[in-house]
């Protein structure tokens, strides 16, 4: 967590007393500093889009000056057109044309200012939102899986969406607020020129406006912070419900899930209502006070005109300018009212951007091509906060081009081992080495990012398909020819069903590949890995939904590619006897350690635990079928 050198207070909104980031009450001290932090955030945004921002401010200044000019033209028209028409009974044509021309010119210039202010200001806001969404997303991709395990997906979605929008929402009214400060200065100067007494009387209400704004921010800030945190909670529950829809429906728990979502939604509703209550109290006051000033000016102005101390045009100008001055004060109030939400949202976004859990990559590349030797040396791994290691002192040697099956009961550490081999996580102790033929061993932590991704491919238990074509789901935007794609499909026994699709490789799969069976999705996931020609292929129960005969044909095709010098070294987490029997060697994991290794037949002979486990798998499958 980054610390501000001025007051040693965290700038990022990390967890407080076990609560999620941003969910704690701001507190009195934090509320006192909300404006300072807000202006720091404004400075950050201005530095990132300086040119467009100041163009929008210039447009707002133009709008402000033309609004004040409206009052001057109105006063001039009152004294030179309207008043003479009552006194003389006729209207001077030249004066009327001049007044109309002045009003028209001011209106056109003010319209140009509005367009520049709103259009360019909107571009600034949307550019900031788009840029920081990309930054947050890139940070998610850089952070290790261990970090993702500690943060619910709904919260991450909220950080990248609602929190980013909330952080920069203040930039929508900001150019107008800065520009109308010029309007405020010009309006007060014009009022003083027109009638100093009326100006002083009317300005009495403005100290009250600023006092009310101070109390407004103090009361509003903690309420907005709480509501913003609850948006992340609602997003998290919704994401869980959508992801678990199949489980919920199959177990008949729709009512319970609906109640769970309703409860957190009602919390957010109540929090937003609390914010609305405060605004309903202060907004009418902020609107009413300038109008009170206008009434005071009119009441006093009538007496001054009657006594000859002021001209009617000056009274009209000052009264109109008070309606104009009220607008800058309200615009500044909009910015101050948006600052609490922006600061809270920024703290939640910044807490992600300031994370330092990313795994650095090295600068080494693997020599040559073809399958590599895999050496796992004394590897130990345990999840943060757990007293027990998931894997303990794992030593494993796999010769190039061989197929090794990893077998073990649920919780024995098989999937954790595959995550370590593909460097989704790093071990606490030990090392994982790859050795190209005729070259020295290289620790996977020393490989460049591109080299690691090109050398090792993983096909996990859960197969994810994008709502895109078959081709894009396999290439993922990579530069692969259709022939390379078809070659991978033939290896995984998927060419026939893909060719039978309405548009072949261009067929759309639907969200999560809903148009395909589980076995078809798994074969496409295998093709996705093979098209990259990895040197080490890790399969974590990647063929569980595939027909056993098809699975055997896939493994035999992989073995043939290896025999031809094109295939990878393969490590497969397996359950079926038929799959295990095809492996050159079997590694039996038990409670995070290697209990036995050898061929399938050797382990059946000498390990009762292994024999009972593989027989139990087959018996369970027979009972299910």
- 571 phi and psi angles, rounded to 5 deg: -120, 120
User: Cα(173)–Cα(169) distance, rounded to whole angstroms?
Assistant: 8
Structure tokens at 286: 């902020």
DSSP calls for 504-557:
GGG-B--GGGTTS-HHHHHHHHHHHHHTT--SEEEEESTTTTS-HHHHHHHHHH
Interval 292-298 mean pLDDT: 76
Quick one: CA torsion of 498, 499, 500, 501, rounded to 10 degrees? 60
Position 380 confidence tier, pLDDT thresholds 50, 70, 90: very high
pLDDT for 330? 66
- Please tell me the distance from the alpha carbon of residue 403 to that of residue 561, in angstroms, as a whole number: 12
Report all structural domains of the chain as residue ranges with CATH numbers, in order of start: 37-353 (1.20.1560.10), 373-624 (3.40.50.300)
- For residue 17, how many C-alpha atoms fall within 13 Å in the half-sphere facing its CB? 3
CA 452, CA 397: separation in Å to the nearest integer?
19
Q: How far is CA 213 from CA 24, 209, 514, in A?
A: 24, 6, 54
pTM: 0.64
What mean pLDDT is predicted for residues 28-53? 77
What confidence tens digit (pLDDT) does each residue in 313-371 have? 777 777 777 776 666 666 676 777 677 778 878 888 888 888 876 677 888 888 877 88
- Which residues, at least 6 apart from 519, have a Cβ–Cβ distance to it below 8 Å? 545, 546, 547, 550
How many angstroms separate the CA atoms of 4 and 622, rounded?
63
Average pLDDT, the chain: 79
Looking at residue 127, its pLDDT comes to 93
Share of the chain above pLDDT 90, in %: 7
Q: Is 586 helix (H, G, I), strand (E, B) or coil?
A: strand
Structure tokens at 377: 């040396």
């Amino acid at each position: 967590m980054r610390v501000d050198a001025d007051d040693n207070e965290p700038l990022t909104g990390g967890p407080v007393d076990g609560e999620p980031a941003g969910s704690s009450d701001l507190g009195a001290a934090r509320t006192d500093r909300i404006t300072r932090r807000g202006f720091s955030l404004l400075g950050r945004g201005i530095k990132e889009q300086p040119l467009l921002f100041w163009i929008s401010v210039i447009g707002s200044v133009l709008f402000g000056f033309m609004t004040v000019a409206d009052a001057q033209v109105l006063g001039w028209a009152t004294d030179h057109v309207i008043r003479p028409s009552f006194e003389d009974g006729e209207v001077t044509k030249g004066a009327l044309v001049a007044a109309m021309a002045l009003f028209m010119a001011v209106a056109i210039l003010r319209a140009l200012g509005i367009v520049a202010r709103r259009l360019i200001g909107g571009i600034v806001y949307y550019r900031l939102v788009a840029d920081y969404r990309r930054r947050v997303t890139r940070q998610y991709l850089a952070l290790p899986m261990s970090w993702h395990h500690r943060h619910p997906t709904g919260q991450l979605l909220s950080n990248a969406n609602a929190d980013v929008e909330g952080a920069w929402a203040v930039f929508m009214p900001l150019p107008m607020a800065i520009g109308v400060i010029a309007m405020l200065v010009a309006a007060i100067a014009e009022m003083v020129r027109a009638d100093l007494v009326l100006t002083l009387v009317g300005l009495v209400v403005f100290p009250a406006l600023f006092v009310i704004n101070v109390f407004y921010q103090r009361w509003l800030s903690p309420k907005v912070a709480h509501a913003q945190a609850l948006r992340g909670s609602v997003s998290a529950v919704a994401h869980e419900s959508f992801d678990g829809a199949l489980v919920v429906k199959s177990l008949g728990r729709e009512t319970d899930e609906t109640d769970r979502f309703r409860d957190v939604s009602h919390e957010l509703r109540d929090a937003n209502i609390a914010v609305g209550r405060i605004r309903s109290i202060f907004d009418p006051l902020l609107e009413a006070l300038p109008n009170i000033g206008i009434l005071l000016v009119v009441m006093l102005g009538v007496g001054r005109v009657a006594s000859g101390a002021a001209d009617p045009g000056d009274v009209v100008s000052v009264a109109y300018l008070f309606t104009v001055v009220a607008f800058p004060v309200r615009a500044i109030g909009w910015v101050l009212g948006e600052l609490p939400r922006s600061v809270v949202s920024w703290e939640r976004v910044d807490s992600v951007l300031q994370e330092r859990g990313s795994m650095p990559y090295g600068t080494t590349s693997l020599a040559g091509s073809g399958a590599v030797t895999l050496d796992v040396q004394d590897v130990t791994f345990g999840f943060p906060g757990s007293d027990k290691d998931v894997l303990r002192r794992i030593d494993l040697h796999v010769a190039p081009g061989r197929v090794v099956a990893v077998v073990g009961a649920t919780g024995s550490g098989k999937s954790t081992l595959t995550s370590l081999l593909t460097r989704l996580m790093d071990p606490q102790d030990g090392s994982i080495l790859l050795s190209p033929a005729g070259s020295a061993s290289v620790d996977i932590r020393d490989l460049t990012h591109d080299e690691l991704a090109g050398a090792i491919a993983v096909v996990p238990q859960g197969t994810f398909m994008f709502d895109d074509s078959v081709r894009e789901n396999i290439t993922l935007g990579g530069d692969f020819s259709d022939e390379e794609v078809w070659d991978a499909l033939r290896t995984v026994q998927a060419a026939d069903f893909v060719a039978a699709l309405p548009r072949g490789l261009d067929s759309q799969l639907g969200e999560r590949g809903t148009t395909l069976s589980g076995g078809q999705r798994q074969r496409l996931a295998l093709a996705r890995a093979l098209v990259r020609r990895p040197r080490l292929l890790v399969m974590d129960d990647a063929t569980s939904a595939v027909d056993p005969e098809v699975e055997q044909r896939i493994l035999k095709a992989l073995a043939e590619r290896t025999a031809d010098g094109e295939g990878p070294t393969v490590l497969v987490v397996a359950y079926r006897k038929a799959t295990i029997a095809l492996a050159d060697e079997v590694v039996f994991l038990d409670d995070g350690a290697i209990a036995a290794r050898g061929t399938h037949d050797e382990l059946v002979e000498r390990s009762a635990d292994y024999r009972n486990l593989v027989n139990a798998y087959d018996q369970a499958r027979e009972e299910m079928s």
